[in-house]
Structure 1
């Protein structure tokens, strides 16, 4: 039996149902304003349809995970493609658990597109099953990665609920300085999401067009005896090179917009895996995000947050605040076990030390400290409502940087994840 073929089909099936679930939740929420029938009945009916699609999609996603494990011979969490697909599956599971408790369609309207974006982001990376490198060939891979991702999944649900809460409570009719500041920062969060979507649009567009550019890069390193060594490697771009790898020579490049060479070279201190190519990806993400955001604003004629705000009338923000807090409270101990305790045990086994100040370790600790502060401020200082929601939003942005940003520009023991 071709397990990998079954896995690939299950992945497409799950992605399609997640998209359908998002559409169902969007209809459920939008129907609160334009449905001519009983609004409550309309919302319940479409929420149930969307939730059923989400559950079936998650079962398809689980099939993808198990069959890829069977076909590949190891748990599929060893590279960015596998980890991000597992994270998407974990977020959907966390949403299912939270929704069974609170049954709030608004959380689904924001959690399901988050899963869709994460899975689409995973598809950017090579999907071929790769053999485990020696550092990953351990049963601790199953324990550490799955628990860390599960904790982050509940943080994601907390983020979705908190973002809905902010969209609900911010008054977009205010013209004073404080009101404009709140409106700006809510719109800024949505802009970050648009940048990620813009990144996906640019990558898949140029990939569909078959774009490629290739550079030859010379890299220097110091061996154990203190001698300098050099190596030559080829770096292939899937996006037009705005920035070339440091200390490299162009081998081939398809011109774009009349430009036939990179505009500048990556700085020498960006020494992560394929740092020049990844900086180029960041630049294209920002450019694509700005263009996409500009088009959306041109169509809507007002900020995106201001357009979404009226659809949330009648929603109790205290319920959203409770959902966000409960999701984070569930995820925090799971993340503590997976990202810190289990990680340190595995580090001791693999590298004979519990802590090495690796960039990924440092940012995992920063994430843990941030959510520790969130729980402390909420439980001990009474930070509820808007202040708590902002902490939940910022916390997940820290999570995203830990997952994605660290691999883009910083070299470390976890750089294999960006390959």
Structure 2
């Protein structure tokens, strides 16, 4: 068996171990109400089992990382598949560090799903080993990317603890204007998470069905001298085209529940040959996420926040607030080194300038400024509790846009990471 084959098996093993670890954390927290023995002992026993299983998942994930490194001949962080798998591994490392300090099994019930979602999202991208382009063939790839991802991983743990805090303290039975506003925002956050999960499920469902559609798009370009040229590009879809590419004709399209032609055309102002496909993916994710959310609401007959809230009883909200702050405080200097300082050194080596206002650079700076403001407001203005938790949740949304939105939507020097 080659190193790459072994790394693939180790990756699958890590995914399933994370899933089992999450299941055991759910038993530890949710099962204490039905335990005939001491509930605290139940939590400790199953929490220990969950921690061991999730740690074995991290070991398998590390085995995947290093064997792929050996098999590929370079550190596996050069494309979206490799980077997202590394981010998932980094979140588990960050979770292990924070767990060793606070010993809270409840944190695992929120950190593990985040890792599972990111690992599953990574599987959406092509998994073949790709040769490094010249700009990536540098030792600074190892230093910059790994430290930036590790800092973002601690932000992810801070997000998980912040969301837990909100689910713990929001009054889901309250009728006041303030209580209803808090309920709506927490519910919207859970809805967004479900949309992301639904995107992953939808991709794999249509991939399993072998769905394909192909279009020929004509693009008109005008150069600096005013001369007009027309180019043709073939665009392939793996989901039924609700939106076809702008100014395109259908080459082939599989039928889906009676839909034999695209329903709509992508607006002309959405630039890029893949703009239609990306819009189509977003629409499908929202449709699938809304259906899944509606199904869950139908099953539980109450808001999802109200369903999760009882599991938080007995948890000290101040501990959750402290965990969220501590994770972000640890991650901030690591992110500063990786995403700014080391990144600028690498940029100077690769592109002969420290800063160039590339979209990824700009959003990395926005992320750094945001968490700088978070720490300032927390330490100098006393923003704790609700305010701090919401800042942690919003901050990770910015992180994910920097990682995913910039790579896959906005064109720039870092666009190769989305290949």
TM range (shorter): over 0.9
CA separation of 1:330 and 1:281: change in aligned 2, threshold 3 A: same
Deviation per CA, 1:237-272: give whole Å up to 9, x if none.
111111122332211111223222222222344335
Distance 2:273 2:74 in 1: 24
Deviation per CA, 1:203-233: give whole Å up to 9, x if none.
1111111101111223455679886554433
SS in 1 for 2:214: strand
Residue matched to 1:190: 190
Deviation per CA, 1:312-369: give whole Å up to 9, x if none.
1111000011110010001001111111111122122222222222221111111111
Residue matched to 1:327: 327
SS in 2 for 1:261: coil
Residue matched to 2:279: 279
Which segment drifts farther, 350-359 or 317-326? 350-359
Distance 1:262 1:233 in 2: 18
Give yes or no for contact 1:215–1:235 (8 Å, CA) kept in 2.
yes
Deviation per CA, 1:79-113: give whole Å up to 9, x if none.
11111000000000100010011000111000001
Give yes or no for contact 1:270–1:410 (8 Å, CA) kept in 2.
no
Deviation of 1:10 (Å): 0.2
Distance 1:352 1:249 in 2: 43
Deviation of 1:140 (Å): 1.4
Residue matched to 1:411: 411
CA separation of 1:91 and 1:321: change in aligned 2, threshold 3 A: same
SS in 2 for 1:326: helix
Give yes or no for contact 1:14–1:58 (8 Å, CA) kept in 2.
yes
Give yes or no for contact 1:321–1:384 (8 Å, CA) kept in 2.
yes
Residue matched to 2:206: 206
Q: Does 1:105 align with 2:110?
A: no
Distance 2:273 2:99 in 1: 39
Deviation per CA, 1:51-81: give whole Å up to 9, x if none.
0011111010001011111111111111111
Q: Does 1:312 align with 2:279?
A: no
Give yes or no for contact 2:219–2:230 (8 Å, CA) kept in 1.
yes
Residue matched to 2:6: 6
CA separation of 1:33 and 1:20: change in aligned 2, threshold 3 A: same
Distance 1:403 1:368 in 2: 13
Give yes or no for contact 1:171–1:179 (8 Å, CA) kept in 2.
yes
* Superposition pairs of residues 151-300 of structure 1, within 5 angstroms: 151-220=151-220, 229-272=229-272, 274-300=274-300
TM-score, with structure 1 as normaliser: 0.97
Give yes or no for contact 1:272–1:407 (8 Å, CA) kept in 2.
no
Q: CA RMSD in A?
A: 1.6
Distance 1:102 1:396 in 2: 21
Distance 1:408 1:132 in 2: 19
Give yes or no for contact 2:120–2:200 (8 Å, CA) kept in 1.
yes
Distance 1:53 1:228 in 2: 61
Deviation of 1:306 (Å): 0.1
Distance 2:377 2:189 in 1: 22
Deviation of 1:118 (Å): 0.4
SS in 2 for 1:215: strand
Give yes or no for contact 1:272–1:408 (8 Å, CA) kept in 2.
no
Residue matched to 1:58: 58
Deviation of 1:142 (Å): 1.0
Distance 1:276 1:131 in 2: 28
CA separation of 1:107 and 1:411: change in aligned 2, threshold 3 A: same
Which segment drifts farther, 256-265 or 332-341? 256-265
Give yes or no for contact 1:273–1:418 (8 Å, CA) kept in 2.
no
- Unaligned regions of 5+ residues in structure 1, if any? none
Distance 1:273 1:365 in 2: 28
CA separation of 1:271 and 1:343: change in aligned 2, threshold 3 A: farther
Distance 2:206 2:376 in 1: 46
SS in 2 for 1:379: helix
SS in 1 for 2:218: strand
Distance 2:166 2:174 in 1: 15
Give yes or no for contact 2:198–2:288 (8 Å, CA) kept in 1.
yes
Aligned length: 419
Distance 1:262 1:80 in 2: 29
Distance 2:168 2:305 in 1: 9
Distance 1:273 1:36 in 2: 61
SS in 1 for 2:302: coil
